[in-house]
Chain A
Amino acid sequence: MTEKQLSATEQLMEQEADSLARAAIGAPKQPRSSLGRRVRSTVSAYGFLLPAIALVITFFIIPGILLIILSFTNLSSANFTEPWEFIGFANFERLFTDPFFPKILRNTVFYVFTTLIFFNLGLALVLALVTTNIPRRRGFFFRLVWLLPRLTPSVVYILMWKRIGSADPFGIYNQFMPEVLGASGGNLFLGGAPWAFVILTNGFVGASFGMIIFTSALMSIPEDLITAAKVDGASTWRIIRDIKLPLIKWPLLFIATYQTLSLLTSFEYILLLTEGGPGLFTTEVWALTAYKRAFSSYFGNSQWAFGATWAIVLVAVALVMAVLYVKIFKFNELVEEPRIENL
């Protein structure tokens, strides 16, 4: 660090320098009380956390509480000039008796687990195993291509998939695939195979996350271990099963947790691709319902309170799952204790 940079932070450090000057003169400074010091240490920790805390309170805590309050009102764009009217559990009753509630629930479970198992976890693992089993540069190249969907703006990304699945004469799939493989000439994402497209679009983005995490875990397995197994005559399959998989157990659990939560609560690609269609609720998942109730104008009315009700139930489910995961996988134990205790 240059002298110039040093002087830029001078003012903030005035106090420190002062106490040091005193120390340099001689006798140790008057000790602070133990309590005083602990308080100071806590205060400075929270000082560093201040920007984060301010944002978390404003955009997580307050909205979280607000979501709960909203779910007990009948607030909508039609009556938002009036004071909030509390209607008890009416929204929750309406939610659970909604004729489409079972369908939405089934859709959500199906969407989350299919995408998770086949793509975000399964394909991710296969990609990581295969790309680390071929020469380095080539593996790197394939992983890089797999990263593209994640870097592409969602609107552009979905645009590409729409063109792949469009009806004749625009659709790419219909142009190149023989009819035996299901090329009907019709629109696929809003007709023939909406779920396939919903899962593919999400899976192609989701898989790269696990792929990267697994790859870095696999690459950190000591080469000696693999060599030793090979010397023992283990086949590639045995090496994967007996050595690689057990050694990447934690990343696997982490991705399973992370992706379950993230699939459960995200809906952006579905919103852009099918908006929950075609028809009534065909590909509508819970998170999307919440969003649509609150922000799309069904019958020209944004039902904020009802949307909030859908959201809060999902948030509750997600939080319970998150806490369970944290407990079951003992993430807490992986947290290292600080090794400096004084200010």
Chain B
Amino acid sequence: MRVELENLSKAWDGVVGADRITLDIADGEFVAFLGPSGCGKTTTLLMVAGIYKPSGGTIKFDGHVVNEVAPKDRGIGMVFQSYALYPHMTVFGNISYPLRIQKVNKTEIKERVQKVADMMGIGDLLDRKIVQLSGGQQQRVSLGRALVKEPQLLLFDEPLSNLDARLRLTMRGEIKRLQEEMGITAIYVTHDQVEAMTMADRIAVMSGGVLQAYDVPTDLYEHPKTQFVAGFVGNPPMNFFDVEIVAMDGEFRAKSGSIDLALPRDRAEKAAAAGKDKLIMGVRPEDIYLVDDAEPAAPGRTLTAAIEVVEPLGREDLLGVTVNDVEMRVLVDKTKGAAVGDNVDLVFDMSSVQFFDPETEQSVLWT
């Protein structure tokens, strides 16, 4: 099912939940709503579900406005973070509930429930009480309940947040596989960018009720259109500093205090074209190296920094460093004995550097 949101808004006297959200979702597409807690993801999703009534804008399913259609008539299935299972019913009771309301005949109910349950790997748990299930099993029941009525649109509200890390990983793959196999359009709300990046065809990044960006995952990462998106997508988050762009000897440099870095021509020209005195430069922690990690120290791309914190992440180390007074995070393969208090030389890979207008926080590179 194709879903179109046009200027979809929701406000409760004074509180803005969603502010003029406009986006479209193609049939069979998997879209993630990504954003920090309280940014309006659930609000938007519940409007799509028909639980909240929009204060403005329209929701279209396959071209029909459905603003006034009751949730039960929208042909949707929904999975909640809290699972929202009916504790007084068995697994069978839960999964079959939508069918029983539709008065599907009993043999068909049995067949369909069994089929969905087998698909979810809970086929032998149908007689269990909900309280006897683990969190992962409960989430499968909840998914089964959403799928059993063969909806045309699946809604997920942070479905994996209550699960432990390992289970989250497997469920992630499973949900994605099921969705692809069944070809159901899906909207997946999450605050976990890894989830969004790995599962979604397109990601809608939200903040403060506003849609910040709507793009395929790689574009969000490589061509962030706002500083918010740049900072929110990618972990650990991007480093930002105020810089001036200076042209010298046919070369562009980003300067600020003791920071002085040579810029690649294509990006520098676009940045300079913005005509601002000051810009915000963004460099990802993974684009900064310890000198002997990579190439030998290159002139114009190296800064000396003092290590303040070392956080071992296993395969890599996350360093908190300061270049004079500017703090930044650096992701390096291994510190090779570098310890807190040491001074090290850092090399900046400037080919993926970002620039933002300090007033509008919009990217000056991508529009």
Contacts and interface: CB of A to CB of B under 8 A. Distances in A.
A167 B20 CA distance: 81
B51 A28 contact: no
Contact of B70 (A27, A34, A337, A343): A343
Interface stretch (A16-24, A136-144, A190-198, A299-307): A16-24
Contacts of B72: 16, 19-20, 23
A342 B50 contact: yes
Interface string B140-183: 00000000010000000000000000000000000000000000
Contacts of B50: 342
Contacts of A28: 61, 64, 66, 69, 73-75
Contacts of A31: 65-69
Interface in A12-38: 13, 16-17, 19-24, 27-29, 31-34, 37
A15 to B, nearest CB: 12
B52 A341 contact: yes
Contacts of B88: 1
Interface in B19-78: 50-53, 61, 64-75
Highest count of chain B CB atoms <10 Å: which of A21, A23, A340: A23
B74 A341 contact: no
Contacts of A340: 51-52
Contacts of B67: 31, 34
Given A20-B101, A24-B102, A28-B61, A342 B71 contact: yes
A134 interface: no
Contacts of B100: 3, 6
Contacts of B70: 19, 29, 342-343
Contact of A342 (B51, B65, B101, B106): B51
Contacts, number: 64
Highest count of chain A CB atoms <10 Å: which of B67, B68, B74, B93: B68
A23 B74 contact: yes
Given A16-B101, A340-B51, A1 B89 contact: yes
Contact of A21 (B53, B66, B71, B102): B102
Interface residues of A, number: 26
Contacts of B71: 342
A260 to B, nearest CB: 33
Interface residues of B, number: 27
Nearest to B71: A342
A24 B73 CA distance: 8
Contacts of A342: 50-53, 70-71
Interface in A118-165: none
B73 A20 contact: yes
A337 B73 contact: no
Contacts of B61: 28
A340 B84 CA distance: 15
B68 A37 contact: yes
Nearest to A41: B53
A24 B149 CA distance: 8
A6 B106 CA distance: 13
A129 to B, nearest CB: 36
Interface string A73-93: 000000000000000000000
Contacts of B106: 3
B103 A33 contact: no
Highest count of chain B CB atoms <10 Å: which of A6, A27, A33, A341: A341
Nearest to B106: A3
A23 B68 contact: no
A23 B150 CA distance: 12
A184 B362 CA distance: 91
A341 B51 contact: yes
Contacts of A339: 51
Given A17-B101, A32-B68, A23 B52 contact: no
Contacts of B102: 17, 20-21, 24
A17 B103 contact: yes
A296 B27 CA distance: 79
Contacts of B64: 27-28
Nearest to A6: B100
A59 to B, nearest CB: 34
Contacts of A21: 102-103
Interface in B91-142: 93, 100-103, 106
A29 to B, nearest CB: 5
Contacts of A17: 101-103
Contacts of B75: 23-24, 28
Interface string B203-235: 000000000000000000000000000000000
Contacts of B53: 341-342
Contacts of A37: 68
A337 B12 contact: yes
A29 B50 CA distance: 13
Interface in A31-52: 31-34, 37
10 contacts: A1-B93, A23-B75, A24-B102, A24-B149, A28-B64, A28-B66, A29-B73, A31-B66, A342-B52, A342-B70
Interface of A: 1, 3, 6, 13, 16-17, 19-24, 27-29, 31-34, 37, 337, 339-343
Given A13-B101, A23-B73, A28-B66, 16 more contacts: A19-B72, A20-B73, A20-B101, A22-B73, A24-B102, A27-B64, A28-B64, A31-B66, A31-B68, A31-B69, A33-B68, A337-B12, A340-B52, A341-B53, A342-B70, A342-B71
The 6 lowest CB-CB distance pairs between A and B, nearest first, are: A31-B68, A23-B73, A341-B53, A29-B73, A28-B69, A20-B102
